[in-house]
Structure 1
Amino acid sequence: MSTSRPLYGGAITASVPANYVDASDLRQVPDTQEVFLAPDSDLSYIVEVLELVKDEQSEHDLDKAARFHFSSLAHDNSALSSTVSSVSTPSAAPKPSGPGLPIVQGPTVLTGTQTVSKFNRPASEADTVLIQLALWRIPQRDADVTLCVNFPVRMGETGEERSADEARRVFEEAVRSFEIRDFGLFAGGEAA
């Protein structure tokens, strides 16, 4: 069962399964991230506030921006390989969030896999990780917000294939419930 959780002191809310553990209770988490971990699997759920990406002509292209964030994640994960299987951009024009509030573009949703070798295991024992990434963009605040659910669908050590049904359900519910409530969270751009 999922519940709406306040993120960044309530500036953002999103649905997170009630039994997921706040990673900041276990380890240091950057101020720009909210990280939750499934208690019974290797699923991780990460929301991150980032500077609006302008590299590789992604400033005005949500597809390219989502791909940039996916590539950045692959770099951070020291992925041996990464593949984008689909990107879906919003079909409707962005709507203002409310009177006097910045426009939020998105979500753009990307699904892909990355091959990641953890715990100093050889490449032959690398995990195949399903990456589901949603991107919201707030151009007036020079901000991108990503929500990412990561789940190993093939364990390299054993070769075990695992169902990603829970990861997909958690991601879809999080994207559907995602809401920015306080634009003061975003320091860049013009003030509203």
Structure 2
Amino acid sequence: MQNATVGRPLFGGALSATIPHSAKDISELRELPDNQEVFAHDHSDQSIIVELLELQNHVQNEDAARYHFEDVAGSNKASAPGTSEVRTVAALPKSDLSLEECSSAFLLTGTQCVSKFNEEAKNTVTIHLGLFRLPQFSTDVLVTFNDPLSISPGSSSAVGMGGKLQEDIEPWTLQDFQRLLQSLRLHDPGVFG
């Protein structure tokens, strides 16, 4: 299977990034909020979400990445004790990034126990979260890579998978996600309003 990447326009071409192979644009399947771009792996339960969010001035540096991780946990209904854990947070060197307009950037890795479609079954998901801070545009750009570790047999994600991830497919890797983060580029600041 080829491991080619595709440079893709985001938000009508206002931004662009290298999206990993086998990515399906979810906006072709359902309506998404204007501030989101969502891609799902064709053969696994992985997904990548790019969001333009209001800058959270009250949190700085690594705490900003933790704030957004907790916000995602709340959206995933993974905010109960023991359902969400931050493993690492690290600054991304600006010299490695194409998004020159960001004042700082961070990569957080953690896990969350989440259910799909409000099901009772919970899946353990590794969350890789890239945060780009753009205070001059009052914006936090959040890029989230959801990478399931284990799928509950009762989850709709397990249908046809036997409760585990298919091993004959080529899933996205952390390197694919890092390539996306490094390639993210701003073309039109008007996207921030």
TM-score (normalised: structure 1): 0.81
The unaligned stretches of length 5 or more in structure 1 are: 188-192
Q: Deviations over 1:61-110 (max 9, x none)?
A: 121111111111110111151100000014569x9x77xxxx41232100
Q: Which residue of 2 aligns with 1:72?
A: 71
Q: How far, CA to CA, are the matches of 1:161 and 1:185 in structure 2?
A: 37
Give 3-state SS (helix, strand or coil) of 2:6's partner. strand
Give 3-state SS (helix, strand or coil) of 1:30's partner. coil
Q: Which residue of 2 aligns with 1:46?
A: 49
Distance 1:161 1:34, change over 3 A: closer
The answer to whether the aligner puts 1:3 opposite 2:1 as a matched pair is no
The unaligned stretches of length 5 or more in structure 2 are: 154-161
Q: Which residue of 1 aligns with 2:156?
A: none
- Mapped contact 2:123–2:151 kept (Cα < 8 A): yes
Shift, 1:162, TM fit? 7.6
Distance 1:166 1:92, change over 3 A: closer
Stretches of 4+ moved more than 4 A in 1?
Answer: 161-165
Distance 1:36 1:165, change over 3 A: closer
RMSD: 2.7
Matches for 1:39-188 after TM superposition, within 5 Å: 39-54=42-57, 57-58=58-59, 61-79=60-78, 80=80, 81-90=83-92, 103-122=101-120, 125-157=121-153, 160=164, 166-187=172-193
Query: What's the % identity of the aligned pairs?
Result: 38
Shift, 1:185, TM fit? 1.1
- Mapped contact 2:108–2:128 kept (Cα < 8 A): yes
TM-score (normalised: structure 2): 0.81
Alignment length (residue pairs):
177
